[in-house]
Amino acid sequence: MEARTYAEFSARVHAEVNQQRIPVNGTIEITHRCPLTCAHCYNNLPMADAGARARELTFEEHCRVIDELADLGCLWVLYTGGEIFARRDFLDIYTHAKKRGLLVTLFTNGTLITESLADYLVKWPPFSIEITLYGATAETYEALTGIPGSYARCMRGIELLAERRLPLKLKTVAVSINRHEIAAMHAIADRYGVEFKFDAMINPRIDCSSSPLAVRLTPAEVVSLDLLDEERVVEWRRMLASFGPIDYGDEQPQVYDCGGGVNSFAIDPYGDMTICVLSKNDRYNVRDGSVYEGWQTFLRAVRDRKATRLTKCTRCALKGLCGMCPANGELENGDPEAPVDFLCQTAHLRARALDVEVPEHGDCEYCESGEQHELMGRMHEELRAIMGGETFQPLPIPPRSAASCTSGGCSSCSLGR
């Protein structure tokens, strides 16, 4: 089949999308308050934060949001926080969503789960419930969460859900404090017969603080965890093949190429609708307006915005190994179009570890002719030291026609955040 130009492909896709944009799946942050004080977290506030509590959408407002979403054709809703069970009326909000026929996923740290709460979830089971496990031992877990006794409460929550055979999954965020226990956390999940996943991508806080980056792994440590997991290696290879380079020609690409504003959205505890949970530059408040207006007009305009410039990311063939998106640029650089240095380093190191040839993609300091190429060599030596010199078979990067990812998330989502 003859390759289409980006302009031809884009015109057809946008004609179809503009007719069919439906908020199929969304993320609703129920609160930013949480009983834990995790060092890596990008949005947690104290449980007793009266100001935050007073600003949160009311039960009635949440029900209205759910009703409007259901009427627009929404099918999937993820409730997250903060900690969802920090709100005493959360089960009432959740039940309303269930009664409207939505498929609901719950993200929780598990520390507030009680027998009565677990019994209620048996009566009204979620599509999925994911608990973040911050360590395999109390010492490590509580070094990250900052709260004595929180490990025991988390494990009790896991036990209560597992013994009721609820659709439980476990996951973790890999940071400098707990990286040595990733395998042990996986073993805990195996013991309960549930899925386990981890992610090492850490973002600055949405209040602009860079404090979470203090526990972020080095690129070599991130890639070493990938390479120690055979399934992850397979997944990275699949992602690489799926997200190859795009020839935009003379066309200016859009800022966003994810599912945000096409079939997904986010709403924060105070009613601000955004293209995703990390992006806060463009906000429409559904408390003051309507979900319909936020979705059909505001987010559509955000999603259709053209980039103001070309960067090394525009033609990069390593997007499947990277996870770079405008929200990352916004949080880390204050600019959604600015490449994130850490992600670029990590993607190039993954490519080198997988023996992938990196095609030229502009003025990139980490490529062979770039001024920071020697740094990549040192990172690779660090990785080899961690891995004991292990290498992997080469994987060619196939050419890719222009297309947008409309799965509702970024290219790293399937690896678990």
Residue 414 has pLDDT above 90, yes or no: no
Average pLDDT value for the chain:
87
**Of residues 210 and 77, more confidently modeled:** 77
Residue 207 has pLDDT above 80, yes or no: no
Return the closest-CA partner of residue 414 out of 261, 204, 259, 213.
259
Mean pLDDT, to the nearest integer, of 35-41?
Answer: 92
* CA distances from residue 162 to 110, 113, 167, 220 in whole angstroms, order as listed: 12, 12, 8, 35
Confidence of residue 6 (pLDDT cuts 50, 70, 90): very low
**Residues with Cβ within 8 Å of residue 138, at least 6 apart in sequence:** 151, 152
Check: CB of residue 410 under 8 Å from CB of residue 325: yes
- Residue ranges of the domains in the chain? 17-217+257-303, 232-254+312-400+408-417
Mean pLDDT, to the nearest integer, of 64-86?
Answer: 97
Alpha helices, DSSP H only, in 267-398?
291-293, 300-303, 326-333, 341-353, 373-387
Write down the residue that tokens 């073993």 correspond to. 187
Mean pLDDT, to the nearest integer, of 194-211?
Answer: 87
pLDDT at position 406 is 32
Check: CB of residue 33 under 8 Å from CB of residue 49: yes
Tens-digit pLDDT profile for residues 165-196: 999 999 999 999 999 999 999 999 999 999 99
**Of residues 237 and 141, more confidently modeled:** 141
Confidence of residue 225 (pLDDT cuts 50, 70, 90): very high
10 Å Cβ neighbour count for 194? 18
Element (H or E) spanning 284, and its range?
Answer: strand 284-285
10 Å Cβ neighbour count for 252? 13
- The residues that bridge with 25 in the sheet, in sequence order, are 76, 264
| pTM (predicted TM-score) | 0.87
Element (H or E) spanning 27, and its range?
Answer: strand 25-29
Calculate Rg over the CA atoms of the chain: 22
- The residues that bridge with 168 in the sheet, in sequence order, are 129
**Both structure tokens of 258:** 């994810």
> Which range is least confidently modeled, 122-131, 133-142, 303-312?
303-312
Superfamily, domain 17-217+257-303? Aldolase class I (3.20.20.70)
Question: Percent of the chain scored above 90 by pLDDT?
Answer: 65
Check: CB of residue 107 under 8 Å from CB of residue 132: yes
**Both structure tokens of 174:** 């890999």
Q: Please tell me the number of Cα atoms within 13 Å of 31 on its side-chain side.
A: 25
Return the closest-CA partner of residue 351 out of 310, 396, 311.
396
Tens-digit pLDDT profile for residues 330-343: 999 999 999 999 99
